[in-house]
């Protein structure tokens, strides 16, 4: 009541969510809720919070993502499902990273990441107009245009553009050398995916102010993503960068259970090397894929960053 603008933020946040739900509802998608306490922290690369269930005498994890449960619902025959809820990650804190944050995840069967890019840019344009009365927003003194379509840029092209190094087809040792030439702090627990992620984070991510889809990530960075239909070693994934921050992450979902099991095993090797963000094998999820998941596209959007 004494600080102008604080209440306005709450009202705008409510408008963002109301517009998003309406957009999904008109598309025919179902809102659901999935477990917050999970026996395996899956669906993302992150360090979880651990808690203890007294009557069962087992440790449980606060969820780091809703992904694996929502995909089970796609297996169960839903055309499109989404959830808007809290995720919890026991990691560093700053203005853009909170240990508990709100995320929207949406999965739609018989779609791919190309469709999802078009769906997402239209969604964000619609939200921006609903909240601000126009398709532009001013943040940190910068005018950001949410008018569709957004730029699309492959991640390895982005790295080449900003550092001069072409990582295409390069193995882990070569990328490690590039990191040293770029004077980056790296350690032995980092695999190929983490190294590329570090280079992108340091030299590229902060430079994309206008909405930009960074696409076609290497397989090592994307353990739940379908292989690219025409580019070997890459996957059908995009992250949306706005104002130098990741706002969304999306895939053509991996629906081959044999391939998925191999990816989980690669993650376990990283865990053995000391990577405390690597994924654990989720046998229930693998079993669901064995029953059969249709080709699906999924996306996660950070609601708090979107509201900012």
Q: What is the pLDDT of residues 135-145, one digit of tens each?
A: 999 998 999 99
From the number of C-beta atoms within 10 Å of its C-beta (0-12, 13-18, 19+), residue 164 rates as exposed
Lateral strand order in the sheet of 30-31: 30-31, 80-88, 100-109, 296-302, 245-252, 237-242, 212-215, 151-154
Give residue-wise pLDDT tens across range 150-181.
999 999 999 999 999 999 989 999 999 999 99
> Residue 149: is the preceding peptide bond cis (ω within 30°)?
yes
pLDDT number for residue 267:
83
Q: What is the largest CA-CA distance in the chain?
A: 58
CA dist 244 and 99 (Å) reads: 20
CA dist 100 and 36 (Å) reads: 12
Spacing of C-alpha 36 from chain mean position: 18
H or E segment to which residue 15 belongs: helix 6-27
pTM: 0.91
pLDDT number for residue 274:
85
Mean pLDDT of the region 186-215: 93
105-114, 141-150, 185-194, 239-248: least confidently modelled range: 185-194
Give residue-wise pLDDT tens across range 47-65.
999 999 999 999 999 999 9
pLDDT number for residue 278:
76
Question: Can you read off the two tokens belonging to residue 287?
Answer: 């079993």
Coil, strand or helix: which one is 288? helix
User: Measuring CA to CA, how many Å separate 7 from each of 10, 103, 250?
Assistant: 5, 22, 32
Q: What is the DSSP letter of 263?
A: H
pLDDT number for residue 106:
98
Q: Compute the C-alpha angle 83/44/95, nearest 5°.
A: 80
Where does 148-302 have alpha helices with state H?
155-163, 172-181, 192-203, 257-272, 283-291
């Amino acid at each position: 009541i004494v600080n102008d603008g604080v209440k306005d933020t709450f009202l705008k946040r409510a408008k963002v969510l109301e517009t998003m739900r309406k957009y999904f509802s008109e598309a025919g998608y179902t809102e659901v809720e999935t477990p917050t306490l999970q026996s395996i922290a899956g669906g993302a690369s992150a360090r979880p919070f651990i808690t203890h269930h007294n009557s069962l005498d087992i440790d449980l994890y606060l969820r780091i993502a809703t992904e694996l449960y929502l995909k089970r619902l796609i297996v169960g025959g839903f055309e499109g499902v989404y959830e808007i809820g809290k995720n919890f990650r026991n990691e560093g804190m700053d203005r853009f990273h909170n240990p508990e944050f709100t995320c929207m995840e949406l999965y739609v069967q018989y779609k791919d990441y190309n469709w999802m890019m078009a769906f997402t840019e239209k969604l964000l344009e619609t939200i921006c107009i609903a909240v601000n009365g126009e398709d532009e927003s001013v943040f940190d003194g910068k005018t950001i245009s949410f008018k569709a379509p957004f730029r699309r840029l492959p991640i390895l092209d982005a790295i080449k553009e900003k550092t001069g190094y072409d990582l295409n087809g390069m193995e882990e040792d070569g990328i490690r050398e590039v990191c040293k030439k770029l004077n980056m702090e790296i350690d032995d627990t980092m695999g190929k995916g983490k190294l590329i992620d570090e280079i992108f984070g340091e030299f590229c991510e902060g430079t994309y102010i206008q909405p930009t889809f960074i696409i076609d990530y290497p397989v090592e960075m994307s353990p739940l993503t379908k292989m690219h239909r025409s580019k070997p070693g890459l996957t059908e994934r995009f992250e949306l960068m706005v104002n130098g921050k990741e706002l969304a992450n999306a895939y053509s979902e991996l629906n081959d259970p044999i391939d998925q099991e191999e990816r989980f095993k690669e993650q376990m090797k990283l865990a053995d090397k000391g990577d405390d963000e690597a994924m654990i094998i989720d046998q229930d999820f693998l079993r669901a894929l064995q029953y059969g998941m249709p080709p699906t596209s999924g996306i996660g959007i950070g609601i708090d960053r979107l509201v900012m």
